[in-house]
Chains A and B, each alone.
Chain A
Amino acid sequence: EVQLLESGGGLVQSGGSLRLSCAASGFTFRSYAMGWVRQAPGKGLEWVSGISGGGSSTNYADYADSVKGRFTISRDNFKNTLYLQMDSLRAEDTAVYYCVSVYYHNSGYSLFDYWGQGTLVTVSS
């Protein structure tokens, strides 16, 4: 059974930093692209970042414009763990952050097939 367990959320002041972790199990973690999706209180879903899989020593990352230059995604395939380093946090970063596994199809589409339960990040201004 696929499990994604996020941790590291909490209350932080504006301008501060936080690192989220996502422990993965039940699948071959290194083979899969992974990502983060967030949801502000009472709002919709927003893709934050993604990182390639495949076991290569070089991982490719993408970011939403809203977090580019402030957030860094990384992974440790030995620990089966995904990370999101969040710096220069703003009040608008307040949200539940979901860890997701990413599925790519060779016909040219991609989606999020498994989701963690999320971890809440609150940025106080």
Chain B
Amino acid sequence: SYVLTQPPSVSVAPGQTAKITCGGNNFGSKSIHWYQQKPGQAPLLVVYADSDRPSGIPERFSGSNSGNTATLTISRVEAGDEADYYCQVWDNSNDHAFYVFGTGTKVTVL
């Protein structure tokens, strides 16, 4: 089964760039999605299919996927970006569909 590993925490000053990695075994051609979760709230999809943004998500959020590492980049970080971020992948091999989330990264805005 998949294991998606993220750094537990990332700290960044306002206006700077935060990069959050998601490492997995055998990503292959699988698409990675990213969710933002603020304290006491439900997760919110911020990047899907490696690098696309849902409507309403600022362009400051971007993603990439290369080899066995996907990256969520938050440019010009704002205080409101402080949250937990999770990557996610879907697998439907062997007639059994399942979803895996990354271990999560807490982004702290200094």
Q: What is the interface of chain A, defined by CB distance below 8 A to chain B?
A: 35, 37, 44-47, 50, 62, 64, 98, 105, 107-113, 115-118
Contacts and interface: CB of A to CB of B under 8 A. Distances in A.
Nearest to A96: B42
Contacts of B98: 47, 62, 64
Which 6 pairs, one residue from A and one from B, show the smallest C-beta to C-beta distance? A109-B31, A47-B99, A115-B42, A110-B90, A45-B101, A44-B104
Contact of B86 (A44, A64, A98, A117): A44
27 contacts: A35-B99, A44-B86, A44-B102, A44-B103, A44-B104, A45-B43, A45-B86, A45-B88, A47-B99, A62-B98, A98-B43, A105-B31, A107-B31, A109-B30, A109-B31, A109-B48, A109-B49, A110-B97, A111-B45, A111-B88, A112-B43, A112-B45, A113-B45, A115-B42, A115-B44, A116-B42, A117-B42
Given A107-B49, A110-B99, 7 more contacts: A47-B98, A62-B96, A108-B30, A110-B92, A111-B88, A113-B45, A118-B42
A64 B43 CA distance: 20
Contacts, number: 63
B54 to A, nearest CB: 8
B30 A62 contact: no
Nearest to A114: B45
A109 B90 contact: yes
Main secondary structure of the interface of A (DSSP, over half): strand
A112 to B, nearest CB: 7
A113 B96 CA distance: 21
B52 to A, nearest CB: 10
Interface string B33-66: 1010100011111001100001000000000000
B65 to A, nearest CB: 11
Nearest to A60: B97
B43 A115 contact: yes
A47 B49 contact: no
